[in-house]
Structure 1
Amino acid sequence: MNDLAGLAGVNLGIAQAAITTLATMLTIGVGFLSKPSAATLYWSFAFALAMVATFGVVAGGLNDAEVLRRASLGLLLGTPALLWSGFRALWGLRAHLWAGPVLAVTSAAVLMAVGDLAAFTVAYRTAFFASSVFAGLFFLDWVRVPARRQDKVVLPLAIVSAAFFVLALGTLIAGFVFPPSGGDDFVLLRTVSSIGMVVYVGCALVAIMGVATRDTPFTRAPAATSDWQRFENTAIDRLLRAQRTSEAWSVVYLQLDDAADIRQTAGSATFGALSASLEEAARLAFPAETDVGSPAPGATVLLVPRTDAIVRDCLRDVLERVPQLDVDGRLPIRPTASAGWAPASILGYDLDALVYTAREAAGVAAQKGGDRWERVSAALVEGLLNRTERL
């Protein structure tokens, strides 16, 4: 029976080693390198710690190196705290990065220090519960903000985190109600915790990959590119016809302020809905003859066949509409937008030049605090030309 239990433990250890290695490779290679941030860095630390600790547990079990096995078991328990720190950084909260390393080192030291198996079992139950507290804190941070609850990619991890905490609390209480009587108690506890850790790491990997690869080349929708190409073709044709008569045309580049923060904290679904609402608000504020396209989530480009006075009034109107898009208060940040205005009378009728300079003007407006518009000026164009020459 003990041989079967030992074999099962080794198999579970190998499974843990495999999934933590995969998680480390994906988080660093796909997550951190494609979207470097404090969150992806902390997640990379978490999975790297889990990978090293898991290999240490397997190596200690196969070679009867009890000190290595106990130390590795303790280090492994610091993983949930590091994952929690990563999500707090993602949501713009204080990360408390120290919690993971402190828990890992303390758990390893305590597990190595205890003597007999009964005391070790109690110590492991306690350390396992301490580790689950951070899974519980993650669940609380997730559930208390409605925008986070709408992020479906994180939902499995939230459920498993709550179950992790309940399971650890149950094993801790059971350990005091029914004191350990032999090695079988720890084998059962270790088996249950190993299975739970495999499920927990798997759900964490799914959530982190979903969050880390948003709006990157890995997940960019081909449909959005096709819509933008159709807008470009239509706009180029209209500008060519307008150039023959020197009509008054303008390109307006409208972009959400703090778009990255809103996307990170509210989730891709909510941010996508906000981007669609921004485009709809622009259609309502500008004349019906205006062509509207979206080159990226959170940005809208408008080709406006009107005089400067009308464009100016439309800009004021659309900027007043943007804060009203969050009618139910779900967003953690009050939405505002910045707009860049590029008149064809100044820059000519080349669409690429108009869109580029309008986008740069919107960036200038955002740097000035956002919730405003900026008209392309000779000074801005000269600055862009000088920057191009330096490159």
Structure 2
Amino acid sequence: MFATTMTATATATAVTITVDNSVSLIALVAVSTALVIGLATLARPSYATIAWGVGFGIGLVGTFLWVAGNQFEHRVLQAVASGLILSFEPCIWLGLRYFSRKRPIWWPVLAFVIGAPVVLGIGALTDAYTVIFRAVYLVAGIFAVLIAVELMRGRRTGRDMVLPLAIVSCLLAAVAAVSFVVSLINTDLVSGESQLTVLRDINRIGILISAVCGAFTLVLLVRSAPTAAPQDLEDLERTRSRLLRAKDQRDRNWSVLDIRLDDRADLREAWTATTYRQIVQTFQERVCRMLPATADAHRVADDRAIVVIHGDEDAVERYLRSLLRAISVIEEEGPLAGVRVSASVGWAPAAVAGYELDELVQTAADAATRARRNGGDRWERVQVPRQIPRQTSPKL
């Protein structure tokens, strides 16, 4: 154990200050928390970054309490602190659900954040604390598995960017599972100060690794994600108004195109995050660069764009042919000269699907899904009007 002792004498009074690895633990967790809150939560506030900031904040409070309980050898305080520290996992998972634009599931997160400190605090007064701790640790390990799954299935990131937190989450889950199984097999591990010491050491190491890797991954996720431009809402309303005017003027030559990059998951796995971002950036640039002056493009995701275009059937087909050819080649010369990609396009003419932007977007999305299912590198044009549930806002 690294320790530095400083002794100062003043007026016959000696004051001893001891700095050990507990202070280093607090320092690293505090720095990690400051990075997440400063560079993610405050810089780009969203439900995801708020959930991550809360998770790191709870973890920091738990770390302070854990160090205090360890210093004063207060068993209940240490147990409560461990519950707060383990609450880091469900908060990170909830934030990843928001970040991936999936439906958030609040109740297991709230139940764990409240229940874990209470259960461990009460369990610390019993002889079965070791088993109780391992059970709570196992539940935290389940959340860690969910974190790894969300990270590896995420649609908006490169794999190398999420590896630190994903690997740590898998290790935490493995340790939690093995620890719980061992405690069930060997009943001698139900109690014993030596086993509690081992658990505390594991907890300390886990705090350090999780804080550092979590801050690294989450900040990179937030800083690399595209941000919505301030005028996006205004552009959307302008597009909606344009379609309504076209309806009043009986102009049938408007269409919505849903353009999606094919094989997104394969591209993300095959290339580094930097190369993948270059590919999707080139994709978006080609979509916008080849648009007619009267068309509007909305970037929905890195690999998807919604285009509202005016022109007859022949004009739209010419645009789509040129677009698919341009997208297929990322670079004529350079390191990506050999990379070939393709896109699938859903085409919803207003003459078929109506002039409501919400319905046009949904119809084009369905057509794009069919185009991708049929092999990609093609477009699918809606031929027959369909009844589509009305939405409150388009998926832009």
TM class by smaller structure = 0.5 to 0.7
Q: Which runs of 5+ in 1 are unaligned?
A: 2-9, 218-254, 288-296, 301-309, 338-364, 373-391
- What residue is the counterpart of 2:171 in the other structure? 163
Alpha-carbon distance in structure 2 between the residues aligned to 1:90 and 1:277: 22
* 1:126 is aligned to 2:135: yes
Alpha-carbon distance in structure 1 between the residues aligned to 2:150 and 2:96: 9
SS at match of 1:35: coil
Shift of the alpha carbon at 1:34? 2.0
Contact 2:130 2:196 (C-alpha < 8 Å) held by counterparts: yes
Alpha-carbon distance in structure 2 between the residues aligned to 1:70 and 1:21: 20
* 1:277 is aligned to 2:286: no
Shift in CA distance, 321/103, structure 1 to aligned 2, threshold 3 Å:
farther
Higher fraction of helix: 1
- What residue is the counterpart of 1:152 in the other structure? 160
* 1:173 is aligned to 2:181: yes
Superposed, 1:225-374 pairs within 5 Å as 270-280=276-286, 315-318=319-322, 369=361
Which deviations, in whole Å up to 9, do the C-alpha atoms of 1:303-343 show, x marking residues without a partner? xxxxxxx9877545456679989x99999xx7779xxxxxx
- What residue is the counterpart of 2:219 in the other structure? 209
- What residue is the counterpart of 2:209 in the other structure? 199
Alpha-carbon distance in structure 1 between the residues aligned to 2:274 and 2:170: 23
Shift in CA distance, 176/320, structure 1 to aligned 2, threshold 3 Å:
same
Q: Which runs of 5+ in 2 are unaligned?
A: 2-18, 228-256, 293-301, 306-313, 330-338, 348-356, 366-396
Contact 2:328 2:342 (C-alpha < 8 Å) held by counterparts: no
SS at match of 2:128: helix
Higher relative contact order at CA 8 Å, sep ≥6: structure 1 or structure 2? 1
SS at match of 2:104: coil
Q: Aligned residues, how many? A: 282
Shift in CA distance, 63/201, structure 1 to aligned 2, threshold 3 Å:
same
* 1:100 is aligned to 2:100: no
Alpha-carbon distance in structure 2 between the residues aligned to 1:114 and 1:18: 29
- What residue is the counterpart of 1:29 in the other structure? 38
Alpha-carbon distance in structure 1 between the residues aligned to 2:39 and 2:208: 21
Shift in CA distance, 258/200, structure 1 to aligned 2, threshold 3 Å:
farther
Shift of the alpha carbon at 1:197? 2.5
Alpha-carbon distance in structure 1 between the residues aligned to 2:101 and 2:55: 19
Alpha-carbon distance in structure 2 between the residues aligned to 1:329 and 1:272: 12
Contact 1:42 1:82 (C-alpha < 8 Å) held by counterparts: yes
Contact 1:27 1:208 (C-alpha < 8 Å) held by counterparts: yes
Alpha-carbon distance in structure 2 between the residues aligned to 1:20 and 1:13: 11
- What residue is the counterpart of 2:192 in the other structure? 182
Q: 1:16 aligns with which of 25, 44, 47?
A: 25
Q: TM-score, normalised by structure 1?
A: 0.58
Contact 2:324 2:342 (C-alpha < 8 Å) held by counterparts: no
Shift of the alpha carbon at 1:60? 2.2
Shift in CA distance, 335/20, structure 1 to aligned 2, threshold 3 Å:
farther
Shift of the alpha carbon at 1:199? 0.8
Alpha-carbon distance in structure 2 between the residues aligned to 1:215 and 1:113: 42
Q: 1:50 aligns with which of 34, 43, 59?
A: 59
SS at match of 1:198: helix
Q: TM-score, normalised by structure 2?
A: 0.57
Alpha-carbon distance in structure 2 between the residues aligned to 1:299 and 1:112: 49
Alpha-carbon distance in structure 1 between the residues aligned to 2:114 and 2:342: 39
Alpha-carbon distance in structure 2 between the residues aligned to 1:93 and 1:269: 26
- What residue is the counterpart of 1:4 in the other structure? none
Shift of the alpha carbon at 1:277? 3.1
- What residue is the counterpart of 1:140 in the other structure? 149
Alpha-carbon distance in structure 2 between the residues aligned to 1:142 and 1:52: 26
Alpha-carbon distance in structure 1 between the residues aligned to 2:125 and 2:76: 13
